[in-house]
Amino acid sequence: EEIKTTNFIHDIIDADLASGKRSEVVTRFPPEPNGYLHIGHAKAITLDFGTAEKYNGRCHLRFDDTNPEAEDIEYVNAIQADIKWLGFDWGEHLYWASNYFDTMYEYAVRLIKKGKAYVCELSSEAFKDYRGVPTRPGKEPPGRERSVEENLELFEKMKNGEFNDGACVLRARIDMTSPNLHLRDPAIYRIKRAHHHNTGDKWCIYPMYDFAHCIEDSIEGVTHSMCTMEFEVHRPLYDWILEELEVFQSRQYEFSKLNLTYIVLSKRRLLQLVNEGRVSGWDDPRMPTLCGMRRRGFTAEAIKKLCAIVGCTKFEGITEIEQFESIIRDDLNENSLRAMGVVDPIKVVIENYPDDLEEEFEVPNHPQKEECGVRKVPFSKELWVERTDYMDDAPNKFKGFTVGREVRLRSAYLVTCNEVVKDDEGNVVELRCTYDPETKGGSAPDGRKVRSTIHWLSAKHAIDAEVRLYDRLYTVENPLADKEKDFKDFINPKSLEVITAKLEPMLANVEPGVRYQFERVGYFCADLDHTPEKPVFNRTLTLRAPRKV
Ligand code: ATP
Ligand code: MG
Ligand code: MG
């Protein structure tokens, strides 16, 4: 179905195209390769690539690698894989901000020549006194009135490595009295001796984000540069730089971040979880990273649908995780095939079934989609069923075994439990049943009603699988709310429980990543660690949302 989404930037683009201000739409997604992408980035990706698609324009994938530290090729590869998994394609438009270092340097020189930039020896701490506070004008720092010639000479010396790291910066010469602190002569180049993955040791000066980003956009002809709200106050600087340089005028538009309850999104904090071993890695199925969510069994479609529903606005809101989970359940319910799995098995013995008989029953792969076909599931005298499907003296509404009641084994037979065997502690170990041979396939020729339909596995055919039951990573909606505490204090100690379950034999041979609904149990997917010899499944979500308490 068509989702109605709110997107104020599309309204702006419509107006730009109608007035002739723009004749095409060019966007970019600019990740810094210093971590893995998370669900927040999916919102930006959906906006950047989705907008280009909508207007038959193009979206560039640009690695924002102007900060030489913390960047790694591992992240570069993972980011590309995740964007592709979401279903987006940058075609030949893959760019590196570091390829523009020469142009950026040239542009800085251009500003100096116009009297619009100067070298400043104040430390960033000392400069704060000159910059001042928004309510009062700042003061002119020393060096602001230096001549163009002297600034050109000093900037060249900065580039040539004649000063120590941090000895001076290049500042834009804008307005020390502006109410916007970002316009009070911001630093645009700093000295930093650091090896860069692309440019090696060629540079010891690196551009600051605000100077670099608008120039990257302009060089690439980006028309609509979308970023998150915290950059709104930087926009006048973005515009000032491009206007002073007299280059292509890209424009920046800000939207609010995606926030979800029970989820912490910040690469810095996610890195802490990884480094401290709180999770197994960036792709741990409890992580809000795209690779973690993929491994958990979430679908790209569900993630994109969430982004479409939240839309693009300037309001800082928080989306309830239950809404996201319900989108995922709907998608999985519709699109994943069914299988039978028993997570907490008890034995069923069909006393009147021949000892050495084996049959196979055809079970539908999807109850609502005949086109998904059927599969054959082996049946024999001894079966596994779910412990929760038996109850002593069960009330009528209980859908399961109790002594004296007839139930349906899905697609197989009607069986009646005659006796329950318990161990010394009173735990059920076995149900002794009889079957009605006339009910083959699961329906009675005399049309008698059976209310319960139970999933089952033939004990001698079922495989053992490691099943990882995942739950939310935190116990509270907002682990960052309490400023006195560390977000990691709220990690859910029961966020992972590993069990051994019984599964249909065919599940040994599925590919990692394949998703199933284990009937009446939940949504599962084969883990990356899954092999036919050692099957491993992750629980994506329970079948239904747990009741809110
Ligand atoms: P983080 O704050 O998690 O470290 P980041 O913004 O530093 O993320 P970038 O690599 O710079 O990470 O992000 C690329 C793009 O994704 C940016 O345009 C950024 O604004 C956007 N983005 C990051 N987090 C979110 C979010 N929660 N919602 C929407 N967009 C986001
Ligand atoms: Mg960033
Ligand atoms: Mg960041």
Q: Is 270 in the pocket of ligand 1 (CB under 6 A)?
A: no
Predicted pLDDT of residue 183:
97
Task: Label residue 546 by pLDDT band (50, 70, 90).
Answer: confident
Cα 542 to Cα 232: distance, rounded to the nearest angstrom: 40
Say yes or no to pLDDT of 548 above 80. no
Task: Label residue 2 by pLDDT band (50, 70, 90).
Answer: low
Q: Binding site residues, as ranges?
A: 32-34, 38-44, 64, 209, 228, 265-267
Q: Is 381 in the pocket of ligand 1 (CB under 6 A)?
A: no
Closest CA to 61 of 103, 41, 85, 89: 89
Mean pLDDT of 271-283: 96
Query: Does residue 521 sit within a domain?
Result: yes
Question: Hunting for tokens 């083959």 — which residue is that?
Answer: 440
Instruction: Find residue 498's DSSP bridge partners.
Output: 468
CA atoms within 13 A on the CB side of 245: 25
Say yes or no to pLDDT of 247 above 80. yes
Q: Binding site residues for ATP, as ranges?
A: 32-34, 38-44, 228, 265-267
359 and 454, same domain (yes or no): yes
Count the domains in the chain: 2
Which of 41-45, 77-81, 184-188, 315-319 bottoms out in mean pLDDT, i.e. has the lowest? 315-319
Q: Is 266 in the pocket of ligand 1 (CB under 6 A)?
A: yes
320 and 376, same domain (yes or no): no
- Please report, as a single letter, which amino acid is at residue 364: P
Predicted pLDDT of residue 71:
66
Say yes or no to pLDDT of 101 above 70. yes
Strand order in the sheet with 341-342: 337-339, 515-518, 522-526, 536-542, 463-470, 496-503, 341-342
Query: Does residue 524 sit within a domain?
Result: yes
End-of-domain residue from the set 432, 461, 490: 461
- Please report, as a single letter, which amino acid is at residue 293: M
Q: Binding site residues for L-glutamine, as ranges?
A: 64, 209
End-of-domain residue from the set 426, 461, 496: 461
Question: Hunting for tokens 């028993």 — which residue is that?
Answer: 342
346 and 457, same domain (yes or no): yes
End-of-domain residue from the set 428, 461, 494: 461
Q: Is 265 in the pocket of ligand 1 (CB under 6 A)?
A: yes
Chain CA centroid to CA 34, Å: 16
Query: Does residue 300 sit within a domain?
Result: yes
214 CA distance to ligand 3 centroid (A)? 18
204 CA distance to ligand 2 centroid (A)? 21
Cα 68 to Cα 435: distance, rounded to the nearest angstrom: 71
Q: Is 28 in the pocket of ligand 1 (CB under 6 A)?
A: no
Query: Does residue 63 sit within a domain?
Result: no
Say yes or no to pLDDT of 549 above 70. no
Q: Is 274 in the pocket of ligand 1 (CB under 6 A)?
A: no
Return the residue whose CA atom lies nearest to atom 16 of ligand 1: 41
State the SS3 of 344-381. CEEEEEECCCCCCCCEEEEEECCCCCHHHCEEEEEECC
494 and 455, same domain (yes or no): no
Cα 417 to Cα 411: distance, rounded to the nearest angstrom: 18
Residues listed for the chain: 549
The CATH code of the domain that includes 494 is: 2.40.240.10
Taking the CA atoms of 298, 303, 305 and 309 in sequence, report the sign of the dihedral they define: positive
Query: Does residue 549 sit within a domain?
Result: no
Q: Which atom of ligand 1 has the smallest separation from the CA of 228?
A: 20
Predicted pLDDT of residue 291:
98
333 and 469, same domain (yes or no): yes
393 and 443, same domain (yes or no): yes
Say yes or no to pLDDT of 3 above 80. no
Which of 158-162, 193-197, 280-284, 377-381 bottoms out in mean pLDDT, i.e. has the lowest? 193-197
pTM for the model stands at: 0.94
Q: Is 53 in the pocket of ligand 1 (CB under 6 A)?
A: no
CB 279 within 8 Å of CB 491: no
Q: Is 307 in the pocket of ligand 1 (CB under 6 A)?
A: no
Taking the CA atoms of 517, 519, 521 and 526 in sequence, report the sign of the dihedral they define: negative
432 and 489, same domain (yes or no): no
Which residue blocks in 265-338 are alpha helix, DSSP H?
267-275, 290-296, 300-310, 321-335
Query: Does residue 191 sit within a domain?
Result: no
Say yes or no to pLDDT of 1 above 80. no
433 CA distance to ligand 2 centroid (A)? 63
449 and 365, same domain (yes or no): yes
State the SS3 of 6-60. CEHHHHHHHHHHHHCCCCCCEEEECCCCCCCCEHHHHHHHHHHHHHHHHCCCEEE
Q: Quickly count: other Cβ atoms within 10 Å of residue 280's Cβ.
A: 15
The per-residue pLDDT for range 16-30, each reduced to its tens digit, is: 999 999 999 999 999
Among all ligands shown, which has an atom nearest to the Cα of 37?
1
Provide the domain limits for residue 325: 267-337+465-542
Cα 184 to Cα 208: distance, rounded to the nearest angstrom: 15
Q: What percent of the chain has pLDDT over 90?
A: 94
Pocket test for ligand 1, best of 38, 228, 254, 266 (most atoms within 8 A of CB): 228
Predicted pLDDT of residue 6:
87
383 and 442, same domain (yes or no): yes
332 and 471, same domain (yes or no): yes
CA distances from 340 to 383, 454, 520 (A): 12, 10, 9
Task: Label residue 475 by pLDDT band (50, 70, 90).
Answer: very high
Q: Is 257 in the pocket of ligand 1 (CB under 6 A)?
A: yes
Cα distance from N-terminal residue to C-terminal residue, the chain: 32
269 CA distance to ligand 3 centroid (A)? 10
- Please report, as a single letter, which amino acid is at residue 390: Y
Q: Which atom of ligand 1 has the smallest separation from the CA of 34?
A: 10
Pocket test for ligand 1, best of 41, 254, 255, 316 (most atoms within 8 A of CB): 41
Q: Quickly count: other Cβ atoms within 10 Å of residue 318's Cβ.
A: 13
285 and 317, same domain (yes or no): yes
Say yes or no to pLDDT of 297 above 70. yes
Query: Does residue 103 sit within a domain?
Result: no
Query: Does residue 407 sit within a domain?
Result: yes
Task: Label residue 68 by pLDDT band (50, 70, 90).
Answer: confident
Q: What percent of the chain has pLDDT over 70?
A: 99
Phi/psi at 355 (5° precision)? -55, -45
Q: Is 30 in the pocket of ligand 1 (CB under 6 A)?
A: yes
332 and 346, same domain (yes or no): no
Average pLDDT, the chain: 96
